[in-house]
Structure 1
Amino acid sequence: MSVDLLTAPRLSRQTWKFTSDVRIQSSATAVGPKEAQGPLKDTFDKTYDDMYAGRDSWEAAEQRLMEDAISIAIAKAGLTADQVDLIMAGDLLNQNITATFSAESIGIPLMGMYGACSTSMLTLANAAALVNAGYANCIVAACSSHNATAERQYRYPTEYGGQKPPSAQWTVTGAGAAVVGQGGAGPRITYATMGKVVDMGVKDPFDMGTAMAPAAVSTLLAHFRDSGRTPQDYDLIVTGDLAAIGYPIAKAMLAKEGYDMDRVYNDCGLMVYSPDQDVFAGASGCASSAVVTYGYIMEQMSLRKLQKVLVCATGALLSPVSYQQGKSIPCIAHAVALEGGI
């Protein structure tokens, strides 16, 4: 049986085309003090001037950031919590505890999801799929990270004061959330390309950019192949958090495959902070792509300055256990296409 790929919802085993009018109804972001001093400071909904966000631990602060992002996004959509069918959320802490405790506090059913720093687009893609299929009317996709909680879990506690190499990245303290539903005037979610796990043998947890770049390229190539699109079909293509090390690697790999990314390509890890903020190679963490997408990109699309955007969030799937056992770092990337206009 032949399938018309122009109308089929499944273009390949990696790429979905959403056939109904699935849109981002609203989005919101909440960030910490360093992010609030960066170049995107005016695009965030809520900012805190201390890393604790008024709570008694960094983990509790991260929960507050996620609760803020979710609650503000729901309110901006003109909804109440009982009108939301599901939260699809994840974070970097063991067993997704930020998402768990946030969903408990807000009182909405939860589907916890983990994709490391690719979680922003992992949750958005799956939320769009469930809404497109009619299993839900309204879903919140969300994720968070916190510099101090991530450092304590994956590398060295902040108090240790260990020296970091230039290839290290600064985990974003923040959270982002999007309300996904049918119709409205927000950006349409048109495609999602789910990534394959790519492991190039990198073992250095202070060099995430080198580890993740091949996974980003793998997903982007799959998206272009399956959708029939090229980079020039987009006004902006962003990867999640390759930063200063991984960004040129990905760009060179794509050029070798015949894709000119010069006009349209940027990386969220290079957008959150300014060069004078002492963040080593740039931003990382679940919130890196989330706060850029649900803040800056949504703003630019609402102003019609951007019409078509492809967000390819990248994630390093290591854990403290795998690192301690000497394993290399498997990586993944998930991409979602957004299109403005009614």
Structure 2
Amino acid sequence: MNKKQGKQSIIFGAPPIITSTANIVGPMEGEGLLAGYFDQVMADNLNNQDSWEKCESYMLEWAIRKAVAKENSTIATVDYVLAGDLLNQLMATHFALRSLGRPFLGLYGACSTLAEGMLLGAVLLDGGFANKVAVAVSSHHDTAERQYRFPTELGVQRPPVSQWTVTGAAAVVLAYAGSGPRITAATVGKIIDMGIKDPNAMGPAMAPAAVDTLWQHIQDTGRQPAYYDLIVTGDLGVVGKTLVIQLMQEKGLDISQNYEDCGCMIYREDQDAHAGASGCASSGVVFTGYLYQMMLARKLQKILLIGTGSLHSPTSYQQKESIPCIAHAVAVEI
């Protein structure tokens, strides 16, 4: 049976099940709006590690092991691990996976990596190529700042449109059998580049990609926005979220009543995150914590998670390139 739907989407014949999730965050995230939805809150951004990078690897390994343990299983039962982070050559992920001893596929979709991993994991399971897959992502404010912007020690002033990279890691266990929410459909995004060159303005850069994928999902599946209890993007922040609503209104659809952005859900206004949260862990910790628990409680039954990624690098920025962006969507239903 051909499971491709329309131009860019997939309808899964045997929808894979999200059997468990886990997350770990830094102290700033632990003091935010979703304080009660994290498995572990670290005391500081080093967590007894020698560097921020080592801390990020620790978080990612911890999240994977915790998610597997939550379903009363062992890491040996995981057929494949799909994981990624924001750092060059997926440094945090590669070091985290050293001790797990499982077949591994590294993914780089920037902040869209969780949705990309869930999409590909669902393909592996629905295709009969695996029985259980772990998907994981991480980001760390201080490692990301050091790579993409300035060393945190410099105390460089951030513009109002900038976002705060989430310190955290999240993992999802997908299985062919079990109980929990199911991934019923997905839409693969394409590169959208509107010519924005400011790496601080990631929300405005990524918003058109989110709209492009959402619109294509609607066209491919026939599911109108009202089909979902919640449509949630990854990390567009306040500015990007506003743009998504406006751009969808231009297409004749009002999504303002059931649309939210993970980047607007993590920090309190007085935490000075400026435009909101960003990073792989933005959608990661929101989905594996708050959203997953809301689904288990049947307070949300149908979610469309649209992971958004800004695919620039320090090199491309220095060469005055614009910012190519991507968005992938996964429909989760219970």
TM-score bin (small chain): over 0.9
Q: Secondary structure at the match of 1:54?
A: coil
Report the CA distance between 1:8 and its aligned residue. Answer: 4.1
Looking at structure 2, the residues matched to 227 and 275 of structure 1 have their Cα atoms a distance apart, in angstroms, of 37
Give the counterpart of 2:187 among 177, 193, 198: 193
Task: Confirm or deny that 1:38 pairs with 2:38.
Answer: no
Task: Confirm or deny that 1:339 pairs with 2:313.
Answer: no
Task: Confirm or deny that 1:289 pairs with 2:275.
Answer: no
Aligned residue runs from structure 1 range 99-248, under 5 A: 99-248=93-242
Report the CA distance between 1:298 and its aligned residue. Answer: 0.4
Give the counterpart of 2:70 among 51, 76, 82: 76
Report the CA distance between 1:192 and its aligned residue. Answer: 0.9
What code does the residue aligned with 1:131 have?
L
Looking at structure 2, the residues matched to 21 and 321 of structure 1 have their Cα atoms a distance apart, in angstroms, of 40
Q: Secondary structure at the match of 2:289?
A: helix
Task: Confirm or deny that 1:91 pairs with 2:78.
Answer: no
What code does the residue aligned with 2:203 have?
G
Q: Which residue of 2 aligns with 1:18?
A: 12
Q: Which residue of 1 aligns with 2:300?
A: 306
Task: Confirm or deny that 1:66 pairs with 2:47.
Answer: no
Query: Share of identical aligned residues, percent?
Result: 51
Q: Which residue of 1 aligns with 2:268?
A: 274
Please list every run of 5 or more consecutive structure 2 residues that lacks an aligned counterpart in the other structure: none
CA contact (8 A) 2:22 2:64 kept: yes
What code does the residue aligned with 1:217 have?
V
Report the CA distance between 1:49 and its aligned residue. Answer: 1.2
CA contact (8 A) 2:302 2:331 kept: yes
Report the CA distance between 1:183 and its aligned residue. Answer: 2.6
What code does the residue aligned with 2:40 have?
K
Q: Secondary structure at the match of 1:143?
A: strand
Report the CA distance between 1:175 and its aligned residue. Answer: 0.7
The number of aligned residues is 334
CA contact (8 A) 2:114 2:137 kept: yes
Report the CA distance between 1:12 and its aligned residue. Answer: 2.9
What code does the residue aligned with 1:71 have?
R
Report the CA distance between 1:290 and its aligned residue. Answer: 0.6
Looking at structure 2, the residues matched to 21 and 316 of structure 1 have their Cα atoms a distance apart, in angstroms, of 29
Task: Confirm or deny that 1:251 pairs with 2:248.
Answer: no
What code does the residue aligned with 2:242 have?
P
Looking at structure 2, the residues matched to 180 and 69 of structure 1 have their Cα atoms a distance apart, in angstroms, of 14
Give the counterpart of 2:319 among 304, 325, 329: 325
CA contact (8 A) 2:60 2:170 kept: yes
Looking at structure 2, the residues matched to 101 and 228 of structure 1 have their Cα atoms a distance apart, in angstroms, of 42
Report the CA distance between 1:281 and its aligned residue. Answer: 0.4
Looking at structure 2, the residues matched to 18 and 151 of structure 1 have their Cα atoms a distance apart, in angstroms, of 38
Looking at structure 1, the residues matched to 234 and 13 of structure 2 have their Cα atoms a distance apart, in angstroms, of 26
What TM-score does the superposition give when structure 2 sets the normalisation length? Answer: 0.99
Please list every run of 5 or more consecutive structure 1 residues that lacks an aligned counterpart in the other structure: 1-6
Q: Secondary structure at the match of 2:174?
A: strand
Report the CA distance between 1:230 and its aligned residue. Answer: 0.8
The RMSD of aligned alpha carbons is 0.9
CA contact (8 A) 1:26 1:77 kept: yes
Task: Give a deviation string over 1:93-147, Cα, whole Å, max 9, x none.
Answer: 1111111111112221110011000001001100010011011111001110000
Q: Secondary structure at the match of 1:144?
A: strand
Report the CA distance between 1:184 and its aligned residue. Answer: 1.9
Task: Give a deviation string over 1:177-208, Cα, whole Å, max 9, x none.
Answer: 10001132210100111101000000001111
Looking at structure 2, the residues matched to 167 and 114 of structure 1 have their Cα atoms a distance apart, in angstroms, of 24
Looking at structure 1, the residues matched to 224 and 92 of structure 2 have their Cα atoms a distance apart, in angstroms, of 37
Task: Give a deviation string over 1:242-280, Cα, whole Å, max 9, x none.
Answer: 101111001100111111112100000000111111101
Report the CA distance between 1:21 and its aligned residue. Answer: 3.5
